[in-house]
């Protein structure tokens, strides 16, 4: 079996659901259930013996030791993290705790576990660390996309904490010979994305008749990848990646934020026209910028394509349409996750931007 951390969050849950659609290999899913973790996302697996959910904190060494001893996984896929840049600006401590201390704790537990394995179990064990393109910093308009050898230059407490975790993972390979793999991926979107992030926030606000808050001039660029394509890339790297290597994952879909919001409004105008008429674009408002806002991310994913034959299956157009359709069909899920704590966050983040 494999052990997943953070499998009640956006990408981790998509990964678990996709994994069990394509394989009968069981999954132990370890998640602390912060505001970002949601068991409703895993409801399709209720009663499925291939999925075991365990509520635990990756910073808890004895819990991690017990889980590894009990389930004896052949691999760990590590998604658990604090993941939202704006939250890291308002409260960086949780990011250092989970992303740095938590990854360190998990690595230590994994090292002790791996050291006791023998033969093919030891040979075949993998620790797959899921990371981000944000560790490489910000690009100018004409700069070449990030490659696996681009120097690290993180600019937010979030990306700095992820950079710290990447360095620890790298060190465990070089120092202890631990069989690690790292993937650095661009911006994901798709089903079960928590509505604090750009795409689901814009869909939710549009449908609720609320303003669509675009930071700064709206011209910051991100590379967008459909979450199912990210999950496929992780499966491929886990299966055939070379230990100690880093693979960049991206969608070859560079868009500025305004283009993304316009496309979302146009899709909603077609799929769910406003009752009062007119376009959702009328709800766009420009608000105060994010401090230290990275201008552009772009990913060169050719290594993964060349060495492991992975390419994204979705274009931005097909992926975004699927996503909007999913949100329209799953308003109940959105209502469930946008609870009291979510509304408090909206006041903290957007109150001062008006
Ligand atoms: P998310 O915030 O939606 O989910 C994170 C999950 O981790 C939640 O279920 C949460 O409960 C859990 N968690 C948090 N702290 C924990 C702890 N101490 N112990 C156990 N569980 C804990 O995040 P996501 O968007 O799904 O991102 C998953 C991973 O992918 C992260 O490592 C992130 O850095 C990375 N990543 C995300 C993106 C993206 O666009 N979302 C892109 C590239 C990489
Ligand atoms: O690049 C990968 C990263 O992508 C992941 O590592 C992070 O976990 C993930 O959250 C994401 O980070 P971003 O900061 O790029 O995503 P976010 O959705 O927060 O913002 C995307 C862009 O949209 C960014 O330029 C800020 C802007 N934005 C965001 C929000 C929430 C707005 O203009 N308005 C908003 O209300």
Q: How far is the CA of 94 from the centre of ligand 2 (A)?
A: 18
pLDDT at 208: 96
Ligand 2 pocket test target in 146, 152, 159, 215 with most atoms within 8 Å of CB: 215
pLDDT tens digits along 15-32: 999 999 999 999 999 999
pLDDT at 214: 98
The set of catalytic residues is 133-134, 158
pTM of the model: 0.98
Backbone angles phi, psi at 181, to 5 degrees: -135, 145
pLDDT tens digits along 128-148: 999 999 999 999 999 999 999
Pick the CATH number of 2-190+224-252+296-312 from 3.40.50.2300, 3.20.20.330, 3.40.50.720, 3.20.20.140: 3.40.50.720
Domain boundaries, the chain: 2-190+224-252+296-312
C-alpha 117/C-alpha 4 separation (Å) is 19
Ligand 2 pocket test target in 211, 220, 222 with most atoms within 8 Å of CB: 222
C-alpha 11/C-alpha 227 separation (Å) is 7
Q: Is the pLDDT of residue 354 over 80?
A: no
Give the closest residue to 79 by CA, choosing from 198, 238, 202, 244: 238
Q: Is the pLDDT of residue 265 over 90?
A: yes
pLDDT at 343: 85
Q: How far is the CA of 199 from the centre of ligand 2 (A)?
A: 9
**For the chain, the helix, strand and coil percentages under 3-state DSSP, each to the nearest 5:** 50, 15, 35
Question: How many other CB atoms are found less than 10 A from the CB of residue 306?
Answer: 9
Length of the chain in terms of residues written:
354
Q: How confident is the model at residue 340 (pLDDT cuts 50, 70, 90)?
A: confident
């Amino acid at each position: 079996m494999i052990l997943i951390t953070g499998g009640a969050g956006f990408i981790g849950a998509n990964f678990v659901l996709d994994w069990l659609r394509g394989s009968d290999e069981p999954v132990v899913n370890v998640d602390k259930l912060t505001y970002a973790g949601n068991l409703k996302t895993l409801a399709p697996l209720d009663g499925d013996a291939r999925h075991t959910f365990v509520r635990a904190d990756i910073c808890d060494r004895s819990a991690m030791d017990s889980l590894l001893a009990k389930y004896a996984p052949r691999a760990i896929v590590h998604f658990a993290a604090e993941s939202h840049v704006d939250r890291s600006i308002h409260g960086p401590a949780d990011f250092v705790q989970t992303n740095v201390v938590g990854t360190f704790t998990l690595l230590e537990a994994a090292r002790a576990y791996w050291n006791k394995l023998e033969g093919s179990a030891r040979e075949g064990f993998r620790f797959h660390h899921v990371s981000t393109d944000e560790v490489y910093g910000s690009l100018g308009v004409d700069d070449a996309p990030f490659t696996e050898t681009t120097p690290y230059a993180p600019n937010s407490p979030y990306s700095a904490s992820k950079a710290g975790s990447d360095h620890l993972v790298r060190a465990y390979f070089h120092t202890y010979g631990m069989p690690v793999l790292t993937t650095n991926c661009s911006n994901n979107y798709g089903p079960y994305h928590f509505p604090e992030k750009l795409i689901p926030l814009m869909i939710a606000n549009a449908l609720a008749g609320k303003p669509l808050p675009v930071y700064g001039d709206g011209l910051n660029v991100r590379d967008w990848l459909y979450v199912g394509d990210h999950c496929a890339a992780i499966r491929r790297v886990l299966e055939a990646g070379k230990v100690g290597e880093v693979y960049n994952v991206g969608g070859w879909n560079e868009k500025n934020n305004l283009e993304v919001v316009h496309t979302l409004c146009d899709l909603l105008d077609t799929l769910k026209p406003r009752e009062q008429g007119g376009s959702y674009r009328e709800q766009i408002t420009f608000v105060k910028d994010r401090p230290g806002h990275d201008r552009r991310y772009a990913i060169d994913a050719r290594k993964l394509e060349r060495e492991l034959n992975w390419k994204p299956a979705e274009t931005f157009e097909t992926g975004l349409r699927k996503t909007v359709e999913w949100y329209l069909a799953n308003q109940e899920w959105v209502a469930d996750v946008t609870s009291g704590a979510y509304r408090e966050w909206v006041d903290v983040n957007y109150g001062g931007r008006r």
